[in-house]
Amino acid sequence: MLNKINITSDKQKLIIYIVLILAVLAVYWQVNKCSFVNMDDYSYVTDNHHIQSGVTPDGIRWAFTTKFFGLWHPLIWLSFMFDYQLHGLNPGGYHLTNLILHILSTLLLFRLFCRMTGAIWKSAFVASLFALHPLHVESVAWIAERKDVLSAFFWMLTLCLYVYYTEKPVIRRYLLVVFSFVCALMSKPMVVTLPLIMILLDYWPLNRFESRKDNRILWQLKEKLPFFILSVILVIITLYHPNKTESSSIILPFGSRLANAPVAFITYLVKTFWPHNLAVFYPFPDQLPFWSVIGSTLLIMVVSAAVIVKAKRFPYLFTGWFWYIITLLPVLGIMQISFYALADRYTYLPLIGIGIGLAWGIPSLIKNENICTKILFPAVIAVIAVTAILAWKQCSCWRDSFTLHSHALQVTKNNFLAYNGLGNALSEAGNVEDAVYYYNEALRLKPNFADPYNNRGNVYLVLGRYQPAVENYTEAIRLKSGNATIYNNRGNAYLGLGLFQQALKDFNEAMRLKPDNADAYNNRGIAYLVQGNRELGCPDAKKACELGDCRIWKDSNERGDCR
C-alpha cells in the first residue's frame, strides 16, 4: 500500500521496524511491574547464590559445568549474573532483559524474510505474529524462560548470518554462522533442529537446490555436517547424567506420552487460531479419547502429504509446515521432559512456520489486487490488533504468583500444579491455613506428587508442628528420592524435635546430594553449636557463609562462639 504513495522500500522497512518496536512495548511494558513467580524463578535467581555472586571466574566455571533440570545452558546463567550485577533482585530489570531480547528477535525475523524474499509486508506479518501472539507471552513474561528469548535471538541471528553466507560462501562468513549457532545451543537444547531449518530455507525461499541438481545430498551433507555434529554433542550432554540421584515423583507411561504427542500438536494449532484459556500449566490427561489420537494423527498425515504433493507449486507451504513440525517435534513429550501435556512456551519458534504459510499462502489464493488491498490488508491489521489485545491481557496474568496460579485454576480443570503453586503463594504471604487447603487439593488430584508433601511440611515446620512435618517430608522423600532440599527440611524438623542424630544424618545426606548446599551447612552448624560442639559447628557456619548463607556465622560471631 505504501508503494502507491511513493514511499521507498527502505523507508517502508524503517516504518515497520518502528511500529514493531512500539507494538511490542505497548503490549509487554507492563511486565516491568511483574514479580518473580514461584515457578523456577526462585531456583534460577532469587535462591541461587551463584547468580548473586555476580560474574566471577568461579561463577563462569559453574555456569559451564552445571545442569539444571537436565539442561545445559551456560549463557542463561551468565545473563542472569549480568542482570544481578545491574539490578540486584529487582524483578523489573530481569523482565526488561527478556523484553529487549524479544524485540531484537522480532526485528531480526523481519529482516531475515525481507532479505530472503523481498516481500516487505508478508515478512512484516510473520514478524508481527511472532511478536504479538498471546501464546508467546509465557516466554517473555516468565523470567526463568530466558531460555526461549535468548535462544530465539541467536536462532534468528544464525539464520540471518546464514543468508549472508549463502550470498557469498566464504569461510569467514561460515564461521560466523557456526559461532552464532554454538551460542544458540548454549541457550536452549531445543535449537538442535536449526540445521534442518537451514535446509528448508535452502529449498524455499533461497532456492539453492536449483543450482545444485547433480550433487544435492553431498553438498548439503558437506555444508551442514558441522552443525549436525554440534547438535549431536549437545544431545549427548543433555542426556548424560553421570551422578543423577534425584528421580521425579511423576513418571508418565511411554504409551500415554506417544498418544498425547499428536493431540498436543493439533491443540497447538487450535490455540494458534483461537488463543483461549491459556495457562502456565496444562495437566496431562488421565486418558485420551481414542478418536482424538487417531483423528489428530490422520490430520497431520493428510496435511503433510498435501504440502509434499503441492511443494513445487506452493513451496512456502512446504517450508512453513515443516518448520512447524521440525521445531515442535523435540518438545512434544515423547521423551519425557516434564509432566506437562503441552506448554505455551513450546510454540515460541514453531509458530513462525504457521506465519510463513499464512503470509504467502492466503495472498496466493486471491488473484484480484483490489481485494488484497481493500479487504485482506485491513483484515490482517484487525487480526494483529486482536492478537495484541489478547497478549496484553495475558501479560496481566503474570503480575505475581497468586494471580498466575489463580488464573490457571480458572481456565483449566484438575490443575494440581496450580493448586500447589497457589498454596506456595499463600504460604509466602503468611496465610498458612489456606495454603494447607491448596496443598491438600493438589494431593487429592495427584497423590504421587511429592512437592505438596514437602510444602505442607514447610508449613507445619513454621507452625512448630514438627512431627507432622517429619511425616510429610518422609512421604516426599519416598516419592522423590535424591532431593537434597527435602532432606534438609526434614533435618530441620528433627532438630525441632531435639532428635540431633536424625537431623545430622539428613543434613549429611543433603550435602552428599548437593555439595554446595549452603542451607544444609548452616543447619548442620546450628545442630552442632546447639550441642556445644564448636569444633564442628564453626567450620560449617563459615562454609555456609562462603556459599552465601551467613546467618549462623554472624550470630555465632556476635555471641563469641566462633571467634
DSSP 375-440: IIHHHHHHHHHHHHHHHHHHHGGGSSHHHHHHHHHHHSSS-HHHHHHHHHHHHHTT-HHHHHHHHH
| Residue position matching grid coordinates 512495548 | 25
pLDDT at 563: 64
pLDDT at 551: 75
Burial class (CB in 10 A: 0-12, 13-18, 19+), 299: middle
DSSP 34: -
Integer Cα distance of 236 and 231 in angstroms: 9
DSSP 43: I
The pTM (predicted TM-score) of the whole model is 0.94
Q: Nine-digit cell at 315?
A: 513451496
Residue-averaged pLDDT of the chain:
92
Say which residues have a Cβ less than 8 Å from residue 124's Cβ, sequence separation at least 6.
16, 20, 110
Range of lowest pLDDT (81-90, 216-225, 362-371, 397-406):
362-371
Please report, for residues 65, 77, 141, 559, the alpha-carbon distance to residue 84 in angstroms, rounded to integers and kept in the order given: 20, 11, 18, 33
* Cβ neighbours of 312 (radius 10 Å): 7
Q: Nine-digit cell at 464?
A: 512448630
pLDDT, average across residues 192-197: 97
Contact 173, 161 (CB under 8 A): yes
Q: Nine-digit cell at 400?
A: 505475581
pLDDT, average across residues 274-281: 96
* Rg of the chain taking only CA atoms, in angstroms: 26
Region of 502 (left: φ > 0; alpha: ψ -120 to 50; beta: rest) is alpha
pLDDT at 286: 81
Integer Cα distance of 159 and 89 in angstroms: 34
* Domain with residues 401-559, CATH architecture: Alpha Horseshoe (1.25)
pLDDT higher than threshold 90 for residue 26: yes
pLDDT higher than threshold 70 for residue 244: no
pLDDT higher than threshold 90 for residue 487: yes
pLDDT at 207: 93
Higher-scoring residue by pLDDT: 113, 545: 113
Split at pLDDT 50, 70, 90, the class of 309 is very high
Range of lowest pLDDT (126-135, 169-178, 373-382, 553-562):
553-562
pLDDT at 217: 79
pLDDT, average across residues 492-502: 95
pLDDT higher than threshold 90 for residue 305: yes
pLDDT at 142: 98
pLDDT higher than threshold 80 for residue 131: yes
pLDDT at 173: 97
pLDDT at 482: 84
Please report, for residues 165, 179, 197, the alpha-carbon distance to residue 224 in angstroms, rounded to integers and kept in the order given: 13, 14, 11
* Cβ neighbours of 237 (radius 10 Å): 14
Backbone angles phi, psi at 313, to 5 degrees: -80, -40
Integer Cα distance of 479 and 483 in angstroms: 10
Integer Cα distance of 542 and 553 in angstroms: 6
Range of lowest pLDDT (123-127, 154-158, 513-517, 554-558):
554-558
pLDDT at 258: 92
Range of lowest pLDDT (443-447, 496-500, 548-552):
548-552
Helices (H), 246-350: 254-273, 290-309, 315-328
pLDDT at 558: 63
Range of lowest pLDDT (290-294, 434-438, 485-489, 536-540):
536-540
Q: Nine-digit cell at 56?
A: 566471577
pLDDT higher than threshold 80 for residue 514: yes
Q: Where are the domains of the chain?
A: 2-398, 401-559
pLDDT at 295: 97
pLDDT higher than threshold 90 for residue 253: no
pLDDT for 35-94, tens place per residue?
Answer: 999 999 999 999 998 899 889 999 999 999 998 877 899 999 999 999 999 999 999 999
Number of helices followed by number of strands (H, E) in the chain: 27, 0
Handedness of CA 527, 530, 535, 538 (dihedral sign): positive
Integer Cα distance of 159 and 292 in angstroms: 36
Integer Cα distance of 358 and 324 in angstroms: 12
Please report, for residues 117, 126, 245, 322, 401, the alpha-carbon distance to residue 311 in angstroms, rounded to integers and kept in the order given: 17, 20, 49, 11, 46
pLDDT higher than threshold 90 for residue 540: no
